Amino acid sequence: MIDYFVLYIIIVLLTISVVYYYLDFKEISGLKVKEKFEEKGHRIYLGDALEVLKTEIPSESVDLIFVDPPYNIGKKFADFHDKWPSDEEYAKWAYEWIDECIRVLSPKGTLYVMTSTQAMPYFDLYIRKKLTILSRIIWRYDSSGMQAKKYYGSMYEPILHSVKNVGEYTFNADAIKVEAKTGSQRKLIDYRKAVPTQYNTEKIPGNVWYFPRVRYRMDEYENHPSQKPEALLERIIKASSNKGYVVLDPFAGSFTTCAVAKRLQRMSIGIESQEEYLKIGLRRVFGWHKYNDEKLIPPEKTNVRRNWNGKRIVDKTGELFHAFSEA
Ligand SMILES: C[S@@+](CC[C@H](N)C(=O)[O-])C[C@H]1O[C@@H](n2cnc3c(N)ncnc32)[C@H](O)[C@@H]1O
């Protein structure tokens, strides 16, 4: 009799722990599409990028994809810690979403992918087997406050620019031209031409791009540790899409891509796993002021900042903090 009772208790306990383990596992691994929001051609998902891609995005339905994933460098993104046990495991994870991005990309579509300088070789070798890589772009920027003393500090991030069909893809060269500084600025004449003419005043940018990183004092600043500058996304979106095209960002962060896509009259899809950043997206892309009874307000900026020693820096003009963080 007692034996049956003990057995019954053991079975009940086992069942409870299996159910708990399963629910907890699903939560931890973020395998769910937790929420979906849609407004006037713009869609935002709270959930795991891979799961959303697999279950929500039809094949060949997206014209431009910009991917700025976690870099495997140990950054903290709200509840997510950006560190894999090894480079290989990070690459294996990335190959899964790269394959999904390729599946959802339209036949004439373009894929831009960023990652750390050390992880980019894995991505490059993998992507070049499946797409045509047109450019290997360097996003160069000013340094952070902390300077490397015993090696050469990192001052750039790589971006791969690839297309599905090298015979037919969007590239709006005229939309992204920049000032040609050399000959034209000095009003020189190019005598190499049949009829000598002045140098062009504009040119298509090369593959080394300078854009300052987003700083606290900038209007576009959001509370996100890896926010990309709007100017960077503006160049990418203008070059590789037209008005009305669908732009996807599977690791949306502060939703820079979607906000810029909206301003440029494209449609957008953004996926983000952290609710803290989802709220930025709802405000920045949809213009919402409230989410679940919580007010959505832009970051409140104070003049009191702390330097790397935790010492208060009182910054009345915005210039002092800038000076500390400049190279
Ligand atoms: C490098 S940041 C993107 C920054 C973004 N480009 C911006 O301008 O703000 C990567 C983002 O991916 C999010 N993330 C991490 N794992 C994810 C996953 N499995 N699915 C969706 N988002 C994820 C992080 O929370 C983080 O916000």
Q: Average pLDDT of 243-263?
A: 98
How far is the centre of ligand 1, averaged over its atoms, from the C-alpha of 48 (Å)? 10
Whether 253 and 186 map to the same domain: the answer is: no
Determine, yes or no, domain membership for 142: yes
Whether 244 and 304 map to the same domain: the answer is: no
Determine, yes or no, domain membership for 7: no
Determine, yes or no, domain membership for 20: no
CATH number at residue 145: 3.40.50.150
**Are the C-beta atoms of 183 and 190 separated by less than 8 Å?**
yes
pLDDT tens-digit readout, 124-183: 999 999 999 999 999 999 876 678 889 998 899 999 999 999 999 999 999 999 998 776
Determine, yes or no, domain membership for 111: yes
Determine, yes or no, domain membership for 17: no
Whether 234 and 139 map to the same domain: the answer is: yes
Whether 154 and 231 map to the same domain: the answer is: yes
Determine, yes or no, domain membership for 263: yes
Ligand 1 site, residue 270, Cβ cutoff 6 A? no
Whether 54 and 139 map to the same domain: the answer is: yes
Whether 119 and 178 map to the same domain: the answer is: no
- Range of the structural domain that residue 301 is part of: 297-327
If one residue of 27, 35, 226, 283 were mutated to test the ligand 1 pocket, choosing by the most ligand atoms within 8 A of its CB, it would be: 226
Nearest residue by C-alpha to atom 4 in ligand 1: 253
Whether 198 and 213 map to the same domain: the answer is: no
Whether 51 and 185 map to the same domain: the answer is: no
For tokens 């691994």, the residue is 29
Q: Any idea which of 7-21, 35-49, 90-104, 257-271 has the lowest mean pLDDT?
A: 7-21
CA separation for the pair 162, 113 (Å, rounded): 8
How far is the centre of ligand 1, averaged over its atoms, from the C-alpha of 250 (Å)? 8
Whether 224 and 116 map to the same domain: the answer is: yes
Q: Which amino acid is at 155?
A: M
pLDDT tens-digit readout, 186-195: 677 778 878 8
Amino acid 56: pLDDT: 97
Determine, yes or no, domain membership for 21: no
If one residue of 48, 247, 273 were mutated to test the ligand 1 pocket, choosing by the most ligand atoms within 8 A of its CB, it would be: 273
Q: Average pLDDT of 109-126?
A: 98
Whether 164 and 54 map to the same domain: the answer is: yes
Instruction: Please identify, among 204, 225, 258, the residue that sits at the C-terminal boundary of a domain.
Output: 204
Determine, yes or no, domain membership for 180: yes
Domains held by the chain: number: 3
Ligand 1 site, residue 271, Cβ cutoff 6 A? yes
Whether 247 and 275 map to the same domain: the answer is: yes
Whether 183 and 132 map to the same domain: the answer is: no
